[in-house]
Amino acid sequence: MRLFFRFVAIYLAVSLVFAAMMRDQAVEDLILEAAVTTYARAMAVAGVFPLLAPLLLAVPLSMGWRRFRANLGSVGYALAASAVLQTAFSFVKLTIPLIVPFHADPALAEADRWLHGGTDPWELAHRIGAWLPIGILLPFYTVVWGVPGTALAIILAVADPDDRRRARFLVLYLFCWIVLGNIVAAAGSSVGPVFYDALVGGSRFAGLLAALEQSGIASGHVGYIQEQLWLSYAERGMAVGTGISAFPSVHVAIATVIALYLAERGRLAGVAGFAFLVVVQFLSVYTGYHYAVDGYFSILVVVAAWAVLRRLCLTGLGHRPLRLRRGAGAAAP
């Protein structure tokens, strides 16, 4: 976890330099804002612990008290790194539109419609949603996702005794935030369906906005957040946790990481993880935040990265001891 923290600290330093170069804001102000927002993020991350209380109670029993105490230092590094990571990510994400103006929405919208037989995916999602308990499912996207989304490193430090698997998923986690969430997001700079008409003009997604009003999404918590995101973009704000970026979907990318991780821990856990992924992908389209292709791309790339990391033996594939045949110069174990 020390290495993870050091890497994230470097990422924060780079993000500060990047933001200072692209914004009309003094470096000292950015550093002060980074300190304030990192503290706020740390408090927010710490707030997930009540949700993890059953896990935290079970871990000492399964690991043994001595091993659990030995891991407390790793938990501290993971907590600090989680706060710093979200701050650094936000600084880069909020600066991207100044370098690469939003441009990919028309292409993404057309690709979405073509892939779904001439129908926009949000329409299909709202048809399906009429038969689903959206009020029950929505917190999985707006609240539950935030636990692994911001605190996966903490969960791994506390609950996973396998150093190699832990390292592999930390790399995959960083890949989602930095490579997909910053680098690829800059290349495919886009706002998503819910902001499409405000950016491009016209009424391409007027039906979506009407559907969100009818479903109560627009007048609820999600609608309020969407208003604040657009306001922050219009004012070029630097508040951590804001910033608009549709392609690719980091929400779906992180949900894919969770699904893959749970699948490695057990069959039933894997089923729950992939159900969670389906819910996150569905709600990302239903709420208008994302084009369906945003999530499809994230799933494909994360699964490919996971497969590559497994093949490179950064973790778990090397657990089994090498077994030599008898008579090959060494005794079999």
Report which of 282, 273, 257, 57 is spatially closest to residue 177, judged by C-alpha positions: 257
Q: 233, 245 in Cβ contact below 8 A?
A: no
Report which of 150, 132, 173, 177 is spatially closest to residue 283, judged by C-alpha positions: 132
| 324 occurs within a structural domain | no
Per-residue pLDDT of the chain (333 residues; tens, 9 = 90+): 788 889 999 998 888 888 778 766 666 666 666 566 555 545 544 554 455 455 555 555 555 556 656 666 777 788 888 888 988 898 888 888 888 999 999 999 999 999 999 999 999 999 999 999 999 999 999 889 988 898 899 888 888 888 889 999 999 999 999 999 999 999 999 999 999 999 999 999 999 999 999 999 998 889 988 988 888 788 776 666 678 999 999 999 999 999 999 999 999 999 999 999 999 999 999 999 999 999 999 999 999 999 999 888 644 444 444 343 444 444 333
| 327 occurs within a structural domain | no
d(CA 49, CA 312): 33
Q: 190, 233 in Cβ contact below 8 A?
A: no
| 322 occurs within a structural domain | no
| 168 occurs within a structural domain | yes
d(CA 49, CA 43): 11
Which two three-digit tokens encode residue 293? 């292709």
How many Cα atoms sit within 13 Å of 143 on the Cβ side?
Answer: 9
| 100 occurs within a structural domain | yes
d(CA 273, CA 93): 27
Q: How far is CA 126 from the centre of its chain?
A: 24
| 329 occurs within a structural domain | no
Dihedral in degrees, nearest 10, Cα atoms 12, 16, 22, 26 = 170
| 105 occurs within a structural domain | yes
What predicted TM-score, i.e. pTM, was given to this entire model?
0.84
Q: What is the residue range of 196's domain?
A: 2-317
| 261 occurs within a structural domain | yes
| Domain count along the chain | 1
